[in-house]
Structure 1
């Protein structure tokens, strides 16, 4: 039934790739996570999303430059190994897997919470188990089926956001749901000013906001299964960050215009309140369904991303060769999917022993890994550029605007984010965990090398 094959099938088109990346970055971070950033920065959080969105775009263009030139299964792990050395590829690949596993556990936990709203008598761990097994089955299907499901998952999320935006603008300028009295946009400056928590508040929110864009790097991983990576990858990279930026900024603009920023997250979900303004009394149930879909979409992409990364790392010699096994009938790397599903059972255990604290615990661990992976993408792009002649650089089909200089500026920005993580007591533990993780990986690499000699 199964055979070892080192070639995946190119079944993903531009529509699939765009929505896979789009869906992975629009989920709980927008629907609920943005409330914490608003609390820290106030209305100036809009600037935080704009600044972070610009750098997210630069990072994806750097990745796209390498992916279009040489599409690989391991994506940025392969490029780190190719241009920076074996240790860089090893650490980058496993750090990405760690990042996405933690994010997936958080998404599974969130999905279990949403299911408990409808079935409170069933324990949360039961729902996490059902969700993990269901998404695991989806990822064992052909990559084209995976791409179609992800497209429709994301489509439903986007429709929900568009409905909220239309309703929000109706309230702001037509007074819809507000007795015919337009709210306008004065709430952006009348509750303590636009920089209500000072310029420092806006800066402090950057670490939360930057992580909200995490997940779009999956564009690089899809390159090896794209029907035409030279066409689909540039289109996806040029459109996805801009779409995410538009959705985040416009949504928060509407929310903070209608409701005072210091009441967001206190009087209930802004999405629920917007639907209620439209006269939809079942807003809670509608939002709950959308959040379940958003979580399933994110988990779906998480399992896909880690699975393909492990497959690519096995090709590089940085992971066990068993990860190269793919199914004979649909060319899916089933071993890596199975490993990811088994690893996610950690979420079942955590929701069993500490259901009230698990989401906060695990959601704070992935920021360091995300920033590390992005830094390695940029450093790899610099090394890639330096390996090319002037004529080769000019001949690149899809290049990063500004080249090496843009990457250097982006690296400084990401290092600044790491400094913010270490500066604030609430997030400092994340930096410690990240450093310990890198030390463990380094020791593991040295140990494996000694065994192989």
Structure 2
């Protein structure tokens, strides 16, 4: 049997994480976060970014010490127990499938902007076939495609920040009525217009926007020089994401009062329109299409590699470990294609409502995976000897306070999901998923788990 090949370079991995975390959560989702918290959403992005950075450092400590396929699913199994590994791996796969369904649906909607007469499901079918075909190629092809797609998004954000700064310095009035200036950050009801409650409510949107950066850990089994590449990627990406989100929010709300962002479209359209670009909608459409393709591409990769790793551990059907001569787990790609074809059916049956239906669960899955990463790192560190701790090449900062605060924050976000009426359904579905998969573990997987562990031990 062929194995995964180490063909992902540093720039591939760095832009893969950027591409996963900078997408529709920023281009469109930021509007609803601004409505909930007002200018205080800047603080929410800073707090959330700090917590996610701690997640990434915890993942990095484990990935550098043990760069394996399956990543945090494997780490949860080794440090928290087989059931925790099973739940973590399959919850991540659920997260990727849900986000992929949302993004393929979004792609169909975006293409409808230019071709309204073409049925939405046709675009969805076309993009599923294209992306899955590319994922069957050598992983280097995947890395190159993701590099350029992520670059388009980053350039677009950079152009918005530069253009917004020009508007601020020139004192341009947006649409001839709204004066730009930093005072807009506190002049319309204050920095906390909806109080602390509004700030807390925004975390559900903010944390979902950061989802995807954990894919860096998935690349450990295919990265060249993982002990050097992964630390560099982790140290660079969170700071850049924080810069993109926080600086973008500051510029947006300084140029255009937060009260004028209605959530009906993207705040980016307002910025491009304010610059006098008449084709703002068309330009944005091109950008969000690249963002959607990028997200679909990286999520199929992440889910497929997680299934491959779980198959090796006996926690998924063994056939998922089959690889092509290019070192690609081709069965997992076909599985994801089958799951996404369900999106084609949904787009055919209910094209108007499908996006809202399939996107409501992803926040729970994302935060659950992050929580398991943090708990796995804590459990690993506690069982290591003092000598083994000193030998770690990429240690978590602020140990043990930093991870403890991040764990408390993730539990807090899950509590927010249950407290807010609009997001409560995500908690219900998430709890049902955990119970269902736990039952599957005890009925189907646990009887075979001992044999798999014994086989690993004999191989070692």
TM-score, structure 2 length as denominator? Answer: 0.95
Q: Partner of 1:415 in structure 2?
A: 411
Q: Deviations over 1:413-442 (max 9, x none)?
A: 100111111011111111110110011101
Q: Partner of 1:105 in structure 2?
A: 101
Q: Partner of 1:372 in structure 2?
A: 368
Deviates more, 1:83-92 or 1:276-285: 276-285
> How far apart, in 2, do the equivalents of 1:177 and 1:203 lie?
32
Matching residue within 122, 137, 141 for 1:141 = 137
Q: CA deviation at 1:319?
A: 0.5
Check 1:118–1:181 CA distance in 2 against 1; reply closer, same or farther (3 A cut). Answer: closer
> How far apart, in 1, do the equivalents of 2:198 and 2:80 lie?
37
Aligned residues: 448
Matching residue within 105, 124, 128 for 1:128 = 124
Q: Does 1:360 align with 2:359?
A: no
Q: Partner of 2:167 in structure 1?
A: 171
Q: Partner of 2:246 in structure 1?
A: 249
* Unpaired stretches in structure 1, ≥5 consecutive residues: none
2:65 touches 2:393 (CA, 8 Å); kept in 1? yes
Q: CA deviation at 1:406?
A: 1.8
1:308 touches 1:333 (CA, 8 Å); kept in 2? yes
1:43 touches 1:195 (CA, 8 Å); kept in 2? yes
2:10 touches 2:229 (CA, 8 Å); kept in 1? yes
> How far apart, in 2, do the equivalents of 1:9 and 1:243 lie?
28
Q: Partner of 2:397 in structure 1?
A: 401
> How far apart, in 1, do the equivalents of 2:249 and 2:19 lie?
18
Matching residue within 306, 318, 321 for 1:309 = 306
Q: CA deviation at 1:278?
A: 2.4
Structure 2 SS opposite 1:120: coil
Q: Partner of 2:324 in structure 1?
A: 327
Q: Partner of 1:204 in structure 2?
A: 201
> How far apart, in 1, do the equivalents of 2:209 and 2:274 lie?
27
Q: Partner of 2:49 in structure 1?
A: 53
Q: Partner of 2:456 in structure 1?
A: none
Deviates more, 1:59-68 or 1:7-16: 7-16
Check 1:181–1:207 CA distance in 2 against 1; reply closer, same or farther (3 A cut). Answer: closer
> How far apart, in 2, do the equivalents of 1:182 and 1:174 lie?
11
2:57 touches 2:234 (CA, 8 Å); kept in 1? yes
Q: CA deviation at 1:314?
A: 0.5
Q: CA deviation at 1:450?
A: 6.6
> How far apart, in 1, do the equivalents of 2:183 and 2:417 lie?
32
> How far apart, in 1, do the equivalents of 2:65 and 2:249 lie?
37
Q: Partner of 1:345 in structure 2?
A: 341
Q: CA deviation at 1:268?
A: 4.4
> How far apart, in 2, do the equivalents of 1:301 and 1:247 lie?
20
Q: Does 1:292 align with 2:289?
A: yes
Q: CA deviation at 1:391?
A: 2.0
Q: CA deviation at 1:190?
A: 1.2
Q: CA deviation at 1:124?
A: 0.8
1:385 touches 1:404 (CA, 8 Å); kept in 2? no
Q: Partner of 2:457 in structure 1?
A: none
Check 1:109–1:449 CA distance in 2 against 1; reply closer, same or farther (3 A cut). Answer: closer
Matching residue within 435, 441, 457 for 1:439 = 435
Give the RMSD, CA atoms, in angstroms: 1.6
> How far apart, in 1, do the equivalents of 2:125 and 2:411 lie?
37
Runs of 4+ in structure 1 deviating by more than 6 angstroms, as ranges, are: 179-182
Structure 2 SS opposite 1:244: helix
2:32 touches 2:263 (CA, 8 Å); kept in 1? no
Check 1:281–1:296 CA distance in 2 against 1; reply closer, same or farther (3 A cut). Answer: same
Q: CA deviation at 1:182?
A: 6.9
TM-score, structure 1 length as denominator? Answer: 0.96
Q: Deviations over 1:306-336 (max 9, x none)?
A: 00000000011101110111111x1111100
Check 1:449–1:167 CA distance in 2 against 1; reply closer, same or farther (3 A cut). Answer: closer
1:177 touches 1:279 (CA, 8 Å); kept in 2? no
Q: Does 1:93 align with 2:102?
A: no
Check 1:64–1:266 CA distance in 2 against 1; reply closer, same or farther (3 A cut). Answer: closer
> How far apart, in 1, do the equivalents of 2:221 and 2:435 lie?
31
1:174 touches 1:180 (CA, 8 Å); kept in 2? no
Q: Deviations over 1:383-426 (max 9, x none)?
A: 11012111221221001002233222111110011111101111
Q: CA deviation at 1:186?
A: 1.5
